[in-house]
Amino acid sequence: MSDQTPAPVPVPADAGSSLEILREALCSVHPDLCPLFSVEFADGSLMVSRAQMHSTAAKLKELGFERFGMVTAVDFGDDFELVYRLHSSRFGVGMFLKTEVPRDEPAIETITDLWAASDWHEREVYDLMGIEFVGHPDLRRILLPDDWVGYPLRKDYHDDGVIPRPDYI
């Protein structure tokens, strides 16, 4: 967090107005992020490029998103989409921060330097989806045995030991 105390925000009456307050705050402080902002599932959403990802996360933290919720990944075939969940008690809303990484080079900068809580979450995404978090202090498998081969939640994962479910079940 910055040393300066963030400017006080008006008390929102409901979720819709707190999103408006968030949009105004975002647009006034970071006009470049303003066109990327949208509303999803009654929360804010930002879709940024891979290169922008770390700096955007830092800006959001500065703006008042002090709590890291989780990070997960979606396999869309050619790309993986990374979804970060951030929460703000200042605005009273959550934020989806999304970015895409290509399948042939699945790597992204870590955010453990901003939120230490993302350590194990990034290890989980690495373990099951095979996305490398560059700069992570301890990038090892977390759920699967250390000698596991492959990344099971990828759509193209194949394991001879898996018994496919028959149609009649």
Partner 1 sequence: MALVDGLTKGLERIPGGSVILTSMDALADWSRGQSLWAMPMGTACCAMELIACSFSRFDFDRLGTFPRPDPRHTDVMILAGTITKKMQPAVKRLYEQMPDPKYVVAMGNCTITGGIFYYDSYSVVRGADEFLPVDVYIAGCPPRPEALQDGILRLRELIHTRSLAEGRTHERDLTLPGPDSPRAGTTDAARGRLVRTSESSGGEA
- Smallest gap from Cβ 70 to partner 1, in A, equals 20
- C-alpha to C-alpha distance for 145 and 133, rounded to whole angstroms: 19
Taking the least distance from each CB to partner 1, the nearer of 13 and 149 is 149
Question: Which residues are 47's β-sheet partners?
Answer: 98
Q: Does the protein bind partner 1 through residue 12 (CB under 8 A)?
A: no
- Going by C-alpha positions, the residue among 55, 61, 56, 36 that lies closest to residue 47 is 36
Secondary-structure breakdown of the chain: helix, strand, coil percentages, each rounded to the nearest 5: 25, 25, 50
Q: Does the protein bind partner 1 through residue 149 (CB under 8 A)?
A: no
Taking the least distance from each CB to partner 1, the nearer of 29 and 144 is 144
Q: Does the protein bind partner 1 through residue 164 (CB under 8 A)?
A: yes
- C-alpha to C-alpha distance for 141 and 123, rounded to whole angstroms: 6
Q: Which residues contact 42 (CB under 8 A, 6 or more apart)?
A: 15, 19, 93
Kindly tell me which residue out of 155, 163, 167, 168 binds partner 1, with binding defined by CB under 8 A.
Answer: 163
Q: Does the protein bind partner 1 through residue 161 (CB under 8 A)?
A: yes
Q: Does the protein bind partner 1 through residue 157 (CB under 8 A)?
A: yes
Return the axis-axis angle of helices 53-63 and 15-29, rounded to nearest 10°.
Answer: 120
Kindly tell me which residue out of 145, 155, 167, 168 binds partner 1, with binding defined by CB under 8 A.
Answer: 145
Q: Does the protein bind partner 1 through residue 166 (CB under 8 A)?
A: yes
Kindly tell me which residue out of 41, 162, 167, 168 binds partner 1, with binding defined by CB under 8 A.
Answer: 162
- Going by C-alpha positions, the residue among 96, 101, 98, 97 that lies closest to residue 132 is 101
Interface stretch with partner 1, choices 17-25, 68-76, 88-96, 144-152 (CB under 8 A): 144-152
Contacting positions for partner 1 (CB under 8 A): 143-145, 152, 157, 159, 161-166, 169
